[in-house]
Structure 1
């Protein structure tokens, strides 16, 4: 069995591509690339086809994590069938993804007993007492976001490995 993870933020140029790249790197380091696939998407269409934000690329470069070939794309209704874990970077993204899911007639997918999981990224880091990953597009704090993403991806990798081991 293969697990597929989708990270979602607003424009798909800052937080979600950072999480995609970090998670992909951690998956490779764990030797699980053949069992776990990672992607990212956005709920807004302002940056479609663009590479990750310069601040995101700078953080990834500092940590020697590849962002090669990454381009912003929109969340689409097919993503609900394709991905096992849809991880939203903030509560607004979660609301927008749920609306898209409902509009696509897939409301029963969430909590229907299937392996599908839809949640916010910060649920992976409950000790942080934060609901949302802050958007560095507005505040420029890419290093803080990187720390959250790195730690959260480690927790997600543990969860996915455990789920894979159970199947």
Structure 2
């Protein structure tokens, strides 16, 4: 199973989601059976590490995302991944609009796909402070539980 988490710039929400999912999956029965990555729909931060506030918040929960580097969603992602899991509706619209003919990957809102919140969106904490980054972390932590449950059930992993 291959999952790609997508947000706008790939420096706040999607790298935190990737880090939380990696950490949780590594300690579950799914270890070694799920490929994870993250990307942004925009290209502003390509090659940069996650936002320092995202790194600090994740580190406060024992998760190191400092080695991740931002990248932009690419056409081959639509063939390489099974699911493109989007932080919000704007990202989902962009992902769907860019889908090449014959795309294999399916796309969905991350919180909805994980059963965390029907139609739920992960708010962008970029213009906020520590409280917004913590809120996003808590949402993504709950989403990781949902992702593990879904993968175990649907894919018998």
**Considering the TM-score relative to the shorter chain, is it more than 0.5?**
yes
TM-score by length of 1: 0.85
Q: How many residues align?
A: 153
Say what the alpha-carbon RMSD is for the aligned residues. Answer: 1.6
Aligned equivalent of 1:60: 58
Distance 1:5 1:122 in 2: 14
In structure 2, the gaps of 5 or more residues are: none
Distance 1:75 1:33 in 2: 25
- Shift of residue 55 of structure 1? 1.2
Aligned equivalent of 1:13: 11
Please tell me whether residue 153 in structure 1 is matched to residue 138 in structure 2: no
**SS of 2:108 mapped into structure 1:** strand
Aligned equivalent of 2:20: 22
Q: Which moved more, 1:46-55 or 1:154-163?
A: 154-163
Aligned equivalent of 2:126: 137
Aligned equivalent of 2:101: 105
Please tell me whether residue 36 in structure 1 is matched to residue 25 in structure 2: no
Aligned equivalent of 2:69: 71
- Structure with greater helix percent: 1
- Shift of residue 120 of structure 1? 0.5
- Shift of residue 84 of structure 1? 1.1
In structure 1, the gaps of 5 or more residues are: 110-115
- Shift of residue 87 of structure 1? 0.5
8 A Cα contact 2:55 2:66, kept in partner: no
- Shift of residue 149 of structure 1? 0.4
